[in-house]
Amino acid sequence: MRPRPALFAVLTSLAATALAVSNAVAAPTPPADSVSPAVAPAATDTDGDSLPDTWETNGYDANGDGVVDVNLPALGANPKKKDLFVEMDYMSGRLATTAALDRIVQVFASAPVSNPDGTTGVAIHLDAGSARGTKYDLGGGNEVTYDADLNPSGTQTTAIKTASFASARKAVFHYMLWGDSYDGGCSSGQAFNIPNDTFIVTVGPKCNWNATDDINVGTFVHELGHNIGLKHGGADHLNYKPNYLSVMNYWFQLGGVLKADGTKYWGYSSVQPTSINEARPDERVGLGSLGAGYLTKWKCPNGTTRTTAGAANQPIDWNCDGDTTDSTTAADINGDKTTSTLIAQNNWANLVFGGGAVGGGSELQSKTPASELQELTHEEWTEMQHR
Ligand SMILES: [Ca+2]
Ligand SMILES: [Ca+2]
Ligand SMILES: [Ca+2]
Ligand SMILES: [Ca+2]
Ligand SMILES: [Zn+2]
Q: State pLDDT tens for residues 319-359.
A: 999 999 999 999 999 999 999 999 999 999 999 999 999 99
What is the pairing mode between strands 123-127 and 83-90?
A: parallel
Q: State pLDDT tens for residues 205-241.
A: 999 999 999 999 999 999 999 999 999 999 999 999 9
Single-letter amino acid, residue 378: H
At residue 126, the 3 state secondary structure works out as: strand
Q: Per CATH, the architecture of 75-229 is what?
A: 3-Layer(aba) Sandwich (3.40)
Q: State pLDDT tens for residues 115-146.
A: 999 999 999 999 999 999 999 999 999 999 99
- Determine the average pLDDT of the residues in 365-387: 80
Identify whether 152 is preceded by a cis peptide bond (ω within 30 of 0).
yes
Bridge partners (DSSP) of residue 126 are: 86
Ligand 5 center to 250 CA (angstroms): 8
At residue 236, the 3 state secondary structure works out as: coil
Burial of residue 208 (number of CB atoms within 10 Å: 0-12, 13-18, 19+) = exposed
- 259 backbone dihedrals φ, ψ, rounded to 5°: -95, 150
Ligand 5 center to 268 CA (angstroms): 12
Tell me the residues surrounding ligand 3 (ion) with CB < 5 Å: 317, 319, 321, 323, 326
Q: Over 90: is that where the pLDDT of 60 sits? A: yes
CA distance linking residue 313 with residue 324, whole number of Å: 12
What one-character-per-residue DSSP string does 84-110 give? Answer: EEEEEEE-TTTSPPHHHHHHHHHHHHT
The pLDDT value recorded for residue 15 is 41
- Which sequence spans correspond to the domains of the chain? 75-229, 234-350+378-387
Task: Please tell me the number of the ligand nearest to residue 85's CA.
Answer: 2
Report the predicted TM-score, pTM, of the whole model to 2 decimal places. Answer: 0.89
